[in-house]
Homo-oligomer: A and B are copies of this chain.
Amino acid sequence: MSARILVVDDQPANVRLLEAKLQAEYFDVCTAVDGFAAIEAAKLEQPDLILLDVMMPGMDGYETCRLLKDEPRTRHIPVVMVTALDQREDRIRGLESGADDFLTKPIDDVTLFARVRSLLRLKTVLDELRHRESSDALSYVMSEPIGDLDSVARAVVISGDPRAATRYAAAMPAQVRTQVETDPVTGLEAARSNADLLIVDLTSPGFDGLRLCARIRADAATRQLPILAVINPGDTPSAVRALDLGVNDIIHRPVDAGEMMARVSTQLRRKRYADRLRTQLDESLEMAITDPLTGLHNRRYIASRLHQAMESSNNGGAPVSLLIADIDHFKSINDRYGHEGGDYVLRGFAERVQRDLRALDLAARYGGEEFVIVMPGAGLAEARGASERLRASIASEPFDLGDGRSACVTVSIGCAQAEDGESAESLLRRADEALYLAKDEGRNRVEAAHSAAA
């Protein structure tokens, strides 16, 4: 997949060299000659990846990377540091400033492009979610910075070499609970049960680490889990293969504890970001169909589900019944106990509804003090029985109002079973007429609807 790449280097010759390599692979390249220009270009051009030189006059690559990772508009763009420095300290410093990888000049093209492909693939998926981060609904929640690794995470180290595995486990950051597995089968099991990160050793004999990584990626349950693979230095084919299979990052033997810590932290930070995007999206979707006061479904949702259930019933499926329940004299509850007291009653009512329903029934607050319950598979007799149980449960004990007081509440309910070819509107109208009758007959009652034909 092609993409836009920002090349940052103060040496024009270096820029030209990388630009030519990337263009030969059909990437779209933009360039910057120092850190300040890089940050501006990143905000403006929104590249998919940044190749960042470390040694630059003015602001160096470390500081540039930190600023890019602090800025909401560029935080999501992967950064690969490219440098002639190859001291352990430089590498760790680069990773700690937020870089996704640290490549040493002269750059090996195969490694570079494998890394670029891998980072772009991850970004493409997250962009689908991020695109929605800019929507109003999510932006306000997602605008906080992600922060450092603070909460507890669970890692699984999988290596055929128990001593090596123990060493890797010992190199984990303090907040990471690590489990060691020496067998690929139990390792995969452990990965499936609530891990946040996997360390897979590709160097242990008699153990096909690449195959294990492929399995982890082929399985929907573990597809999203970050994998850090341990390989032998100079084993470029394994590194490239691993990245192409979907491994997130590579670390070379002998494993340096500081580097392990920095790479693990990067992976966990990224996972937390992706998890938060997904959770936020799911929660927002949930909010779209939920009544905020009672936590029941809202009118919009129940209307569409009723429509669906009736369609399936009309196509020869099971029967469908509907209840409309309206709290009696709710206005006087509000007048007497205030809006807050009224809210307590509505919430308490919703609780009893949910307690009394079958698992497959759908309850919604339809508006004000009116509730609608859809009962898929239920005939009129069953709906009448459920209505009667609900009525009795509401009347059985007073509602707590949260301030030491309590209120006696009753409910009137109309119920109806959908008839052949009937529309949702007609069913709702019949149940509503039954409710009206229940109110008319003195409230705290259940009435079943007349047949539509009658």
What is the interface of chain A, defined by CB distance below 8 A to chain B? 1-4, 26-28, 46, 48, 121, 124-125, 128-129, 132, 135-138, 140-141, 143, 210-211, 213-215, 217-220, 241, 244-246, 281-282, 284-289, 292, 298-301, 304-305, 308, 339, 368
Contacts and interface: CB of A to CB of B under 8 A. Distances in A.
Copies in the complex: 2
Contacts of A46: 220
B244 A1 contact: yes
Nearest to A143: B308
11 contacts: A2-B213, A4-B218, A28-B215, A28-B218, A48-B218, A121-B124, A125-B128, A136-B286, A137-B286, A137-B289, A292-B300
B214 A28 contact: yes
A288 B301 CA distance: 12
A244 to B, nearest CB: 7
The secondary-structure label for the interface of chain A is helix
A132 B287 contact: no
B285 A135 contact: yes
Nearest to A287: B288
Contact of A3 (B4, B218, B282): B218
Nearest to A307: B140
Contacts of A286: 135-137
Given A285-B288, A288-B285, A289-B137, A217 B2 contact: yes
A26 B308 contact: no
Contacts of A215: 2, 28
